[in-house]
């Protein structure tokens, strides 16, 4: 057990790290952020900040020397430099990062555990792309295998001719059949070091332009009917990776059951509602898990919860949002709003 008072290292400097650090502070831990960008909103609430590139071995070693355990809030942290953190534990184990960083590896791994993704094919060149479209058909989505997030690095292919004018990167891609889904949802779980697994209620998620817009708990009857199968798969993934901490799996709800979309080996935007909407939040349970403490109750703390992301530079009337007693406003402290940038969220509890 890592007792309160020790230092938790967080790789990545965004809002997820910020909210992990706030939960850690409540339990008496100190946090140290490591991120390449100087304007880290996680560092704003942490006791220490190392601003260095991921491959700066000296900076990584001195960061590790200050930490009792290291976690990450960003799944595209390169895995190789993490060797420099040993003997300090990195949780969740970097094997989870390796799987989740590559959309192809992730789908192969989850299929091996009995999960059902959309039909997919590896695309390394034009011939692969033509073969993928011939086998899987259209519509489909071409995605970068690595470094994609919030709908970036994706191209919708409605008919085979659509690929002609595309300015595609030379990095490896994956082609996926388009899933005719009725809804989207995510399974959020936390696994402790003793193997204890707790699930939060399942949010139904609405994306706009590939970016999460709203999470609602409880989800529709269709989603609720698919939760058991999706949870069973998520538990298998967590066990296969000897996972410690919060793990998120995203699914499409279809007429034929849940179709796996992707996994995130970290706390997740679709779990932000748990800060006020669950007895124990995803951030607190993540801290408890990586520190070897017992996990907290994940039950719903209201009749329902709706989380809305505040995205881009839309004008908001903070006073008006806060004048509704059911609303909780979270702003991440980002200086510059850009289209598609997550600036904060509002959680609304439904109490009666
Ligand atoms: P991703 O980054 O892969 O999670 O994609 C972002 C969003 O794009 C998803 O949440 C879906 O709304 C949509 N999307 C991604 N892949 C597919 C697919 N194969 N079929 C239908 N919609 C998809």
What are the DSSP calls for 243-288, one per residue? --EEEEEEEEEETTEEEEEEEESS--GGGTTHHHHBSS-HHHHHHH
Q: Please list, residue by residue across 219-236, b when 16 or more beta carbons sit within 10 angstroms of its beta carbon and e when fewer do.
A: beeebeebbebbbebbbe
3-state secondary structure 327-343: EEEEECCCCCCCCCCEE
Helix (H), strand (E) at residue 24: helix 15-26
296 lines ligand 1 (CB under 6 A): no
Paired residues of 11 in beta bridges? 34, 72
Which ligand 1 atom is at minimum distance from the Cα of 118? 19
215 lines ligand 1 (CB under 6 A): no
3-state secondary structure 134-146: HHHCCCEEEEECC
Q: With DSSP H G I counted as helix, E B as strand and the rest as coil, what are the percentages for the chain, rounded to 5?
A: 30, 30, 40
In the predicted model, residues of the chain with pLDDT beneath 70 are: 149-150
210 lines ligand 1 (CB under 6 A): yes
Rounded to whole angstroms, how far apart are CA atoms 232 and 92?
19
**Cα dihedral 111/117/118/124 (nearest 10):** -60
Cβ 260 vs Cβ 251: under 8 Å: yes
Q: What is the pLDDT of residue 148?
A: 74
Strands (E), the chain: 7-11, 30-35, 48-51, 69-72, 120-123, 140-144, 154-157, 173-177, 183-191, 197-199, 204-208, 211-217, 245-254, 257-264, 304-311, 327-331, 342-350
Q: What is the pLDDT of residue 71?
A: 98
Q: Identify the residue whose tokens are 């997919």.
A: 120
Within 10 A of 241 (CB to CB), how many other CB atoms are there? 21
Rounded to whole angstroms, how far apart are CA atoms 204 and 166?
33
Q: What is the pLDDT of residue 27?
A: 98
262 lines ligand 1 (CB under 6 A): yes
Paired residues of 197 in beta bridges? 191
343 lines ligand 1 (CB under 6 A): no
Give the tens place of pLDDT for each residue, 1-37: 999 999 999 999 999 999 999 999 999 999 999 999 9
Token digits for 227? Answer: 């939760």
Cβ 110 vs Cβ 90: under 8 Å: no
Enumerate domains of the chain plus CATH numbers.
7-90 (3.40.50.20), 119-177 (3.30.1490.20), 183-350 (3.30.470.20)
Q: What is the pLDDT of residue 150?
A: 67
106 lines ligand 1 (CB under 6 A): no
Radius of gyration of the chain (CA): 20
Token digits for 314? Answer: 């839309």
Q: Identify the residue whose tokens are 């939040």.
A: 281
Could you tell me the CA-to-CA distances from 217 to 33, 162, 177, 348 in Å, in that order? Answer: 31, 38, 28, 11
Rounded to whole angstroms, how far apart are CA atoms 145 and 237?
20
Q: Distance, CA 97 to ligand 1 centroid (Å)?
A: 20
| Residue among 258, 256, 238 at smallest CA distance from 248 | 238
User: First-to-last CA distance in the chain?
Assistant: 40
Q: What is the pLDDT of residue 337?
A: 82
19 lines ligand 1 (CB under 6 A): no
Q: Distance, CA 138 to ligand 1 centroid (Å)?
A: 15
Residue of the CA atom closest to atom 2 of ligand 1: 151
Rounded to whole angstroms, how far apart are CA atoms 106 and 116?
12
- Cβ-in-10-Å burial (0-12, 13-18, 19+) of 268 comes to buried
Rounded to whole angstroms, how far apart are CA atoms 223 and 221?
5
Which residue from 116, 141, 143, 183 has its CB within 8 A of the most atoms of ligand 1, so it is best to mutate? 141
């Amino acid at each position: 057990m890592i007792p309160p008072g020790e230092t938790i290292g967080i790789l990545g400097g965004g809002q997820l790290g910020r909210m992990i650090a706030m939960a850690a502070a409540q339990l008496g831990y100190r946090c140290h952020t490591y991120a390449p960008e100087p304007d880290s909103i996680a560092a704003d609430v942490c006791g220490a900040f190392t601003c260095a590139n991921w491959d700066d071995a000296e900076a990584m070693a001195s960061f590790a020397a200050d930490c009792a355990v290291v976690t990450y809030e960003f799944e595209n942290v390169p895995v190789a430099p993490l060797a420099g953190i040993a003997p300090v534990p990195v949780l969740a184990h970097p094997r989870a990062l390796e799987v989740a960083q590559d959309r192809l590896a992730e789908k192969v791994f989850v299929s091996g555990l009995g999960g059902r993704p959309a039909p997919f094919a590896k695309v390394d060149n034009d011939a692969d792309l033509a073969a993928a479209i011939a086998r899987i058909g259209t519509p489909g989505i071409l995605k970068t295998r690595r470094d994609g997030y919030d709908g970036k690095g994706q191209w919708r292919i409605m008919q085979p001719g659509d690929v002609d004018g595309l300015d595609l990167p030379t990095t490896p891609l994956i082609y996926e059949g388009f899933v005719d889904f009725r809804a989207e949802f995510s399974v959020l779980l936390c696994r402790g070091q003793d193997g204890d697994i707790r699930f939060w209620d399942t949010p139904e998620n609405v994306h706009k332009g590939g970016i999460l817009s709203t999470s609602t708990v409880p989800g529709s009857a269709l989603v609720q009917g698919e939760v058991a199968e999706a949870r069973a798969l998520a538990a298998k993934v967590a066990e296969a990776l000897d996972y410690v901490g919060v793990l998120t799996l995203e699914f499409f709800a279809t007429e034929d059951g849940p179709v796996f979309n992707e996994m995130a080996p970290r706390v997740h935007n679709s779990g932000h509602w748990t800060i006020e909407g669950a007895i124990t939040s995803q951030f607190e349970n993540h801290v408890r898990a990586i520190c070897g403490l017992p996990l907290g109750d994940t039950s719903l703390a209201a009749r329902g919860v709706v989380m809305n992301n505040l995205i881009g530079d839309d004008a908001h009337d903070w006073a008006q949002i806060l004048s509704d007693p059911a609303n909780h406003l979270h702003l991440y402290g980002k200086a510059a709003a850009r289209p598609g940038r997550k600036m904060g969220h509002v959680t609304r509890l439904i109490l009666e």
